[in-house]
Amino acid sequence: MLEVVSLVAVVAVVVLYAVAGVLAITTGRVVPWQRGYILRPRLWGFGALLFGAGMALARYGATVRDLTASDVVFGSSLLMLICGGVLQHVGRRVGRLRA
């Protein structure tokens, strides 16, 4: 049961990240709570897509039974998560942090 709940939660977050990323890339708009903080919406959108794909790959990696393949999938997902987070950070405005 917990595995199903985890899968549903990860799918919901990945879909939200993908929608926000595609919206930022295609139209240059970002989600309303981030409008004042994002300077480069396309860069932030690519970061959101990469971060969401990394989350999906990490969730898939939990189902892989082969130890070597699991290490490769986990390492790849970790790299995607880090690169997506860096791209999202670079896309933000400098000095505009929430208090």
Cα→Cα distances 23→2, 8, 27, 41, 55, Å = 32, 22, 6, 9, 19
Flag whether 8 is in a domain: yes
Structure token digits, residue 88:
């999202």
Flag whether 27 is in a domain: yes
Flag whether 96 is in a domain: no
Flag whether 98 is in a domain: no
pLDDT in tens for each of the 99 residues of the chain? 877 888 899 899 999 999 999 999 999 998 888 888 888 999 999 999 999 999 999 988 888 888 888 899 999 999 999 999 999 999 987 765 555
Flag whether 97 is in a domain: no
Whole-structure pTM value: 0.85
Instruction: Give 54: exposed, middle or buried? Use CB within 10 Å, 0-12, 13-18, 19+.
Output: buried
Give the count of domains, the chain.
1
- CA proximity to 56, closest of 83, 30, 81: 81
Flag whether 84 is in a domain: yes
Domain housing 27? 2-90
Distance CA 59, CA 66 (A): 15
